[in-house]
């Protein structure tokens, strides 16, 4: 054992008494235990008085003003998920897809507005007297082939709807449809007064509603017996319908179409089936 020099023991005693510790501990352990005890509390104590004033004072006047925080919207914008580059191609095709989609929708809508599509709407002018399904009322029945019996040829029906009962009576034309109709021909005025629609509907509307009466209500088969008539007058590809829409007249439409009977600009006797 080496002897502890007196001046060291004295220092140790002074420290202990300064910290309020008793003298009962072993002299050898005292320096080891007291050394950390003195330094540990001293460190924060030294930092506390000097630290805060300098830290508090320094940044406030000297530092540049902190940048304004982004508004909620801007910060959300900056944080947004960016479109991955591989999706750009798909996004670029979007306008083309939109175009094709709109085209497909309007194209089918246009098909529905061919003579038959339009005729279903125009028929609202007729339903009150002929029934919503053509079953008849004040005016004749169209359904179950009745209208086809009266008019084997569409031209005679078009003429009758254009000019109406009054004009036929004035012109002295009795038989407006098939003179050989089973049970006897229909005579102008026999059932009542059918208004002429030449003034209130356009020629293409009259064709459209007559197509509706024959094919949608009357049961004409556009793929069978009436295939040729359907093709010429009532199909979505009907050239005559397009020409009427462009300003051609039913009264003279036969001039540009072989095999079409003359409708003319006034009442005329109806024709028998071929």
161 binding ligand HEC? (CB under 6 A): yes
Q: CB of 142 within 8 A of CB of 109?
A: no
- Comparing C-alpha atoms, which of 162, 140, 159, 138 is closest to residue 149? 140
Which 201-240 positions form the footprint of ligand HEC (CB under 6 A)? 209, 213
273 binding ligand HEC? (CB under 6 A): no
Residue number with CB closer to ligand HEC (21 or 141): 141
178 binding ligand HEC? (CB under 6 A): no
φ, ψ at 10 (rounded to 5°): -65, -45
- Comparing C-alpha atoms, which of 195, 126, 180 is closest to residue 150? 180
Residue number with CB closer to ligand HEC (30 or 220): 220
262: phi > 0 → left, psi -120 to 50 → alpha, else beta; which? beta
Residues 6+ apart with CB under 8 A from 27: 4, 9, 12
The tokens of 234 are what?
């009532």
191 binding ligand HEC? (CB under 6 A): yes
Residue number with CB closer to ligand HEC (30 or 234): 234
Residue number with CB closer to ligand HEC (30 or 175): 175
Residue 169 Cβ vs ligand HEC, minimum distance, rounded to whole Å: 8
For residue 40, the surrounding DSSP H or E stretch is helix 29-57
Question: Binding-site residue total for ligand HEC (CB under 6 A)?
Answer: 28
Residue number with CB closer to ligand HEC (194 or 244): 194
138 binding ligand HEC? (CB under 6 A): yes
- Comparing C-alpha atoms, which of 45, 269, 240 is closest to residue 168? 269
Options 115, 140, 148, 267; binder of ligand HEC; rule CB under 6 A = 140
Options 30, 116, 118, 147; binder of ligand HEC; rule CB under 6 A = 147
Say if residue 266 is exposed, middle or buried (CB neighbours under 10 Å; 0-12, 13-18, 19+): middle
Residue number with CB closer to ligand HEC (207 or 253): 207
Options 16, 115, 155, 165; binder of ligand HEC; rule CB under 6 A = 165
Q: Please name the residue that has the structure tokens 């004035």.
A: 170
Residue number with CB closer to ligand HEC (148 or 248): 148
Q: CB of 226 within 8 A of CB of 192?
A: no
Residues that bind ligand HEC (CB under 6 A): 125-126, 128-130, 138-140, 146-147, 150, 157, 160-161, 165, 177, 186, 188-195, 197, 209, 213
């Amino acid at each position: 054992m080496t002897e502890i020099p007196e001046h060291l023991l004295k220092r140790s005693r002074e420290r202990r008494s300064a910290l309020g510790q008793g003298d009962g501990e072993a002299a050898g352990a005292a320096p080891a235990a007291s050394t950390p005890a003195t330094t540990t509390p001293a460190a924060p104590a030294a930092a506390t008085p000097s630290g805060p004033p300098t830290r508090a004072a320094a940044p406030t006047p000297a530092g540049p003003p902190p940048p304004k925080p982004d508004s909620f919207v801007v910060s959300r914008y900056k944080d947004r998920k960016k479109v991955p580059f591989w999706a750009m191609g798909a996004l670029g095709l979007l306008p083309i897809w939109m175009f094709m989609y709109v085209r497909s929708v309007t194209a089918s809508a246009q098909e529905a507005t061919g003579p038959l599509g339009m005729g279903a709407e125009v028929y609202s002018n007729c339903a009150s007297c002929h029934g919503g399904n053509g079953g008849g009322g004040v005016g004749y029945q169209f359904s179950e082939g009745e209208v086809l019996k009266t008019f084997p040829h569409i031209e005679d029906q078009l003429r009758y709807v254009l000019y109406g009962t009054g004009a036929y009576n004035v012109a002295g034309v009795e038989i407006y449809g098939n003179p050989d109709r089973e049970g006897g021909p229909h005579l102008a005025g026999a059932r009542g007064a059918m208004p002429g629609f030449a003034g209130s509907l356009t020629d293409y509307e009259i064709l459209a509603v007559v197509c509706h009466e024959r094919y949608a209500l009357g049961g004409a088969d556009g793929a069978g017996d009436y295939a040729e008539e359907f093709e010429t007058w009532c199909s979505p590809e009907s050239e005559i319908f397009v020409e009427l829409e462009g300003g051609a007249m039913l009264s003279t439409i036969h001039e540009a179409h072989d095999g079409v009977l003359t409708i003319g600009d006034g009442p005329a006797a109806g024709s028998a089936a071929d």
